[in-house]
Amino acid sequence: MRSQFYSAPVLSDGGRMNAAKITALHAEHLALGARMMPFAGYDMPVQYDGILAEHSRVRDSVGLFDVSHMGEVRFKGADAISAVNGLITNDLERVANGRAQYTCTCAPDGTIVDDLIVYRIADDEVLICVNASNRAGDVAHFERYVQGDVTITDESDDWSQIAVQGPSAPTLIARVLGQEFADLRPFRIRQAVFEGAEVLYSTTGYTGEAGGEIYVPNEKAVALWKALLAQGADLGVGPAGLGARDTLRLESAYCLYGNDIDRTTTPLEAGLGWVTRLGKEAFVGKEALVKQKAEGIPRKLVGIEMSERGIPRHDYPILKDGEVVGKVTSGTKSPSTGKSIGLAYVPSALAEAGTTISVDCRGRERSALVVTTPFYARPKGG
């Protein structure tokens, strides 16, 4: 047995020696029997009871994820909104204070520096949640290209973050933070109080389920984690690791930076045109993206579903009529549907749902279908 691990930045990014940092919840993970792996410089829980069990927990009841490795960067100043707007592809002018937006930030050549959640806190304040692996690069990128009267502060080391995800998440949030937070519609952020400490609750996530993410000061992280576990016991709450986080996000067809998007792909290619507002004022990468849109987008990130046995995996070639025409960026066997699914870049001419392609699964050519995404969506009203 010789194992190849997928979701490359998650599991193959150096050895444990490189995992110098731990989160405030590290001891909790060890006490829960987690299997730890290095991720973005942190020693993080990949699984506790098993990826499939944790995946079902989030789809059926509620799971807790320690996502404290994610970075938090604050923009403050009179020009905060316009300054952030000059760095992102989405448009903060379109939303009110208290709202969250998913967006990319691009290099001048239009390729993706990171994908982020931006929170419009106030007219002079924006909080940005960045990928752990990109944190240093993001801050350098912001400082290089930012314009206007604004200060940028990397607060990542002060905050822990717990994602509470699943159909029972609102019930648990109501118990721990209050009913008004459970009632928030998606993509909102509000200040809450937990044991006297100011926390932020945002109705965002990476699983396709109800719930949200709690930004909590490090010193209160363990108390909050324990409160969520204790007060959700009757709901079936339990921890979920990065392994389940990956299968859950893939079923929802959410991109993973470093796998599906990176400095070689543009938001238009990645199907992120919906967060790329080419009509707004200047932002870093706009000219290149306007040009790409005018000239035609050469390839697109699509959902694929295997028609034959085999699981698509990162970097497996996509074939059409025996020719390599693209590659898989993420894949797994969907725990919710049992189907083998993936994301792949294919030429735009092959991007229509229903197109037949094949995947070179370790030397065996297996047929697959381009499909619409998400691969799994929670039942309406659930």
Partner 1 sequence: MAEIPNDLLYTEEHEWVRVEAGDDTLVTIGITDYAQDKMGDVVMVELPEVGDEVNAGAACGAIESPKSVSDIFSPVGGEVSAVNEELEDAPEFVNDEPYGDGWVLRITMADKGELDSLLSPEAYAAYCAEQDED
Stretch that binds partner 1, among 44-52, 120-128, 228-236, 318-326 (CB under 8 A): 44-52
> What is the total count of residues that contact partner 1 (CB under 8 A)?
29
Which residue in the set 11, 184, 235, 369 belongs to the binding site for partner 1 (CB under 8 A)? 11
Q: Is 321 in the site for partner 1 (CB under 8 A)?
A: no
Q: How far is the CB of 52 from partner 1 (least distance, A)?
A: 5
Contacts of 25 (CB under 8 A, 6+ apart): 66, 68, 160, 162, 221, 222, 225
Q: Is 51 in the site for partner 1 (CB under 8 A)?
A: yes
Q: Is 303 in the site for partner 1 (CB under 8 A)?
A: no
- Let me know: does 102 contact 126? Beta carbons within 8 Å: no
Q: Is 304 in the site for partner 1 (CB under 8 A)?
A: no
Q: Is 63 in the site for partner 1 (CB under 8 A)?
A: no
Q: How far is the CB of 50 from partner 1 (least distance, A)?
A: 5
C-beta of 10 vs 67, nearer to partner 1: 10
Structure tokens at 134: 């990109």
Q: Is 1 in the site for partner 1 (CB under 8 A)?
A: yes
145-156 burial, b if ≥16 CB within 10 A, otherwise e?
A: bbeeebebebeb
Looking at residue 12, the DSSP 8-state letter turns out to be S
CA 137 to chain centre: 17
C-beta of 26 vs 55, nearer to partner 1: 55
Which residue in the set 298, 362, 367, 372 belongs to the binding site for partner 1 (CB under 8 A)? 362
Q: Is 243 in the site for partner 1 (CB under 8 A)?
A: yes
Q: Is 333 in the site for partner 1 (CB under 8 A)?
A: yes
> Which residues of this chain interact with partner 1, rule CB under 8 A?
1-7, 10-11, 35, 46-47, 50-52, 55, 243, 246-247, 309-311, 313, 332-333, 335, 340, 362, 364
